[in-house]
Amino acid sequence: MSHHLVVRVVSKLLIPFILLFGLYVQFHGDFGPGGGFQAGVIFAAGFILYALVYGLDNAKRIIPEKYIRAGVALGLLIFAGTGVASLLMGGNYLDYSVLAEEAPKGQHLGIFVVEFGVGLTVASVMIVIFFAFAGRDHQIDEKEE
């Protein structure tokens, strides 16, 4: 798709805002509608748009596949690890209240970290799925060049 000038220019303009919006949804999740699931998908969508327009190889050069795979695992580890942290600090599994001196602060911290884990995993999974399907044969990259 690299010869479509309009698509290239427009997506180049849009992608930073899509990624920014993804981050907004992620980190504003504790005050309004939002959270890791939605943010992860939005963030991944921005990245996938880049891969669609500029080709899979360029996209893989930005984030190599093995790092994204690690991201999938890391997100889940952060989530489950938060639970273990609350276990170690004397609460039940995933009981955020014990994570800080005051219960509300602990809950705030807990949900923030957990949602970050969710967002990381969701974004990585979406990109991995896209890479897996698109990389199977190189139709997306090469057909139109």
Partner 1 sequence: MEWPGLYNYWIVIFLMMAGLYIVMARANLIKKMVGLSIFQVSVFVFYLTMGKVSGGTAPIVIDGDPVYSNPLPHVLILTAIVVGVATLALGLALIVRIKESYGTIEEDDIEKQETDA
Partner 2 sequence: MIAAHLPALQIVLPLLSAPLCVLLVRARLAYALSLIVCWLAFAISIMLLGQVLDGGVISYRLGGWAPPWGIEYRVDLVNAYVLLIVAAIGALVITYAGPSVAREIGGGRETLFYTSYMLCLTGLLGVTITGDAFNIFVFLEISSLSSYILISLGTDRRALTASFRYLIFGTIGATFFLIGVGLIYQATGTLNLADMANRVEPLGASRTVQAAFAFMAVGLAVKAALFPLHSWLPNAYAYAPSVVSAFLAATATKVSIYVLIRTYFSVFGPEFSFEVMTLGPVLMVLSIAAMLIGSMIAIFQDDIKRSFAYSSVAQIGYMVLGIGFATVLGVTGGMLHLFNHALMKGALFLALGCLIWRTGSVSITAMQGLGKRMPWTMAAIVGGGLSLIGVPLTVGFISKWYLLLAAIDSGLWWVAVFILISSLMAIIYVWRLVEVAYLSPSPDGAPSGEAPLVMLIPTWVLVLANFYFGVDTRVSVGVATEAAKYLLGAGS
**Residues within window 29-68 making contact with partner 1, judged by CB under 8 A:** 37
Of the candidate spans 8-16, 29-37, 40-48, 91-99, the one that interacts with partner 2 by CB under 8 A turns out to be 91-99
Binding mask 95-114 for partner 1 (x = CB under 8 A): --------------------
DSSP element (H, E) containing 5 = helix 5-27
Burial class (CB in 10 A: 0-12, 13-18, 19+), 15: middle
Q: Which of 132, 139, 142, 144 binds partner 1 (CB under 8 A)?
A: 132
Task: Say which amino acid occupies 114.
Answer: V
Q: At what angle do helices 65-88 and 103-134 cross, to 10 degrees?
A: 160
Burial class (CB in 10 A: 0-12, 13-18, 19+), 27: middle
CA neighbor of 112 nearest in space, from 43, 21, 28: 28
Residue 93 interacts with partner 2 (CB under 8 A): yes or no: yes
Q: Which of 97, 100, 113, 135 binds partner 2 (CB under 8 A)?
A: 97
Of the candidate spans 7-15, 77-85, 105-113, 127-135, the one that interacts with partner 1 by CB under 8 A turns out to be 127-135
**Interface with partner 1 (CB under 8 A):** 37, 129, 132-133, 136
